[in-house]
Amino acid sequence: MTINILGREFDEEKITPKHKMFDAEHYKDYRQFLLNTPETELTKMPIKHAYERMRFIGQEEQSDYLKSVGYVPPNQRPQKEAPKSSTGKPVRVYKIWNND
């Protein structure tokens, strides 16, 4: 199904992320189109796509804010080593109470 947004046509099946015919290139183009659309044109746009535009703007602002306050994603943090005793063997932190 083709939708028309401000004179630009998009295939709705290719811009819906959960659809089996989803195409990342079309979605990227759709996203850039919405982000580059001036706010004065929002009243002419279907409400669903105006909300999507606001969601995309919020995602960009959120990632910029997290970087500015020094947030580091868990997969980019340095790995912590487990504590070891002076003999180099692992040490139990808690006592096991079942016949040990």
Strand partners, 13: none
| Element (DSSP H or E) covering residue 25 | helix 24-36
Q: How far apart are CA 15 and CA 23, in angstroms?
A: 7
pLDDT at 7 over 60: yes
DSSP letter at 21 equals: T
Structure tokens at 80: 């912590």
3-state secondary structure of 69: coil
Q: How far apart are CA 5 and CA 15, in angstroms?
A: 13
pTM of the predicted protein model: 0.66
Q: What is the pLDDT of residues 42-68, one digit of tens each?
A: 888 889 999 999 999 999 999 889 989
- Residue 15 burial by CB count (10 A; 0-12/13-18/19+): exposed, middle or buried? buried
